[in-house]
Amino acid sequence: MSAEESLTGRVLRAYGNRFIVQTSRGVFDCRLRGKLRLHTRAQKPPVVVGDRVRFVIEDPSHGIIEEVAARRNKLSRPDVNNPDLEKVIVANVEQMVVVAAVDKPRLKTGAIDRFLLAAEKSGMDGCVCINKTDLDTAAKYDRIAAVYRAAGYTVITCSVVTGEGMADVRRAVRYRVSLFAGHSGVGKSSIINCLQPGLKIRTGEISGATGKGIHTTTAVELHPLDFGGYIADSPGLREVGLWDIDADELAGLYPEMAPYLGECRFRNCVHVGEPGCAIKAAVEDGRLARLRYDGYLRIYHSLK
């Protein structure tokens, strides 16, 4: 092994200033070259989970990161200490799998929409996964599944308890880098454990008075899948959503509205009730789902 031999790999985990990097020659525990830390101080942190990096091998299990490849996309949230500052959570994710539960917690389409908007804004594909189908009859969630299918998203209905639909989840994540997002308790970690037995990710964390403060880790971690691909579980994505989305760009983040943009009477129509609005007309005659449009109106006004 020469002194300056280097390898490339993908960051699976980050803790403090150390990064666990997966390579074709196994997993390395890496730190950052001082130069890199200095150079990228403006970008906090300079390396995140999902980054592809090149590092110099120190010994068979350690390395020093010298270079970070350009990110194809990133998911961010405001920095806790300085809300105007962007904090990157994870990079190079191809698709966001938005998990919701039929019940426990109650199915809320507003939450699904917010995560999908974050996915669209970040340039990730969106997939909707409705879990816990064992808790209700299909009539309840099929209508919602149909709405998101019509919007152009892959929709999976599944149950970790009965195993229904798990093959569909597996098919959707195979060979891809996916981020599981959704409110606490919907079953994200349970689904990932089911896909990749042996991971043993902690489950059962329900937010609320009793659960609070017990689970302190909010870090995103990338799990390699034996059958191909990676999944990132995300315990703390509450703040992601809409913080960097402007009201004026909102409609452009609904894929099913795309064909109507530019068809409204007024060039600057924001589709909240102006005369001659093509989107409103499409909702009225059933070409666009009212459920999504009502959600659009609520989110639009929340951003104003």
Please report, as ranges, the residues that interact with Zn ion according to CB under 5 A. Answer: 264, 269, 271, 277, 279
Residues in the chain: 304
Binder among 10, 77, 132, 280 for ligand GDP (CB under 6 A): 132
Q: What is the 3-state secondary structure (H, E, C) of 57-81?
A: EEECCEEEEEEECCCCCEEEEECCC
264 binds, among ligand GDP, Zn ion, Mg ion, none (CB under 5 to 8 A by kind): Zn ion
- Rounded least distance, CB 254 to Zn ion, Å: 12
Asked if 154 touches ligand GDP (CB under 6 A), the answer is no
Rounded Cα distance between 189 and 24, Å, is 27
For residue 239, CA distances in Å to 95, 115, 179, 183 come to: 19, 10, 15, 11
Of 41, 33, 27, 78, the residue nearest 221 (C-alpha): 27
Residue nearest to Mg ion (CB): 189
242 binds, among Mg ion, Zn ion, ligand GDP, none (CB under 5 to 8 A by kind): none
Q: How many CB atoms lie within 10 A of CB 273?
A: 9
Contacts with Mg ion in 171-190 (CB under 5 A)? Answer: 188-189
First to last CA, the chain: 59
Cα 267 from chain centre: 32
Binder among 6, 40, 73, 203 for ligand GDP (CB under 6 A): 203
Rounded Cα distance between 217 and 146, Å, is 35
269 binds, among Mg ion, ligand GDP, Zn ion, none (CB under 5 to 8 A by kind): Zn ion
Question: Using CA of residue 42, residue 48, residue 54, residue 56, what is the dihedral sign?
Answer: positive
**Under DSSP, is residue 135 helix (H, G, I), strand (E, B) or coil?**
helix
Question: Which segment (13-21, 59-67, 114-122, 198-206) binds ligand GDP by CB under 6 A?
Answer: 198-206
**Under DSSP, is residue 41 helix (H, G, I), strand (E, B) or coil?**
coil
Looking at residue 49, the DSSP 8-state letter turns out to be B
Asked if 134 touches ligand GDP (CB under 6 A), the answer is yes
Asked if 198 touches ligand GDP (CB under 6 A), the answer is no
Asked if 131 touches Mg ion (CB under 5 A), the answer is no
Question: From residue 167 to residue 196, what is the string marking binding to ligand GDP with x (rule CB under 6 A)?
Answer: ---------------x-xxxxxxx------
Count of residues that bind ligand GDP according to CB under 6 A: 18
Chain residues binding Mg ion by CB under 5 A are 188-189
Interface contacts to ligand GDP, rule CB under 6 A: 131-132, 134-135, 159-161, 182, 184-190, 203-205
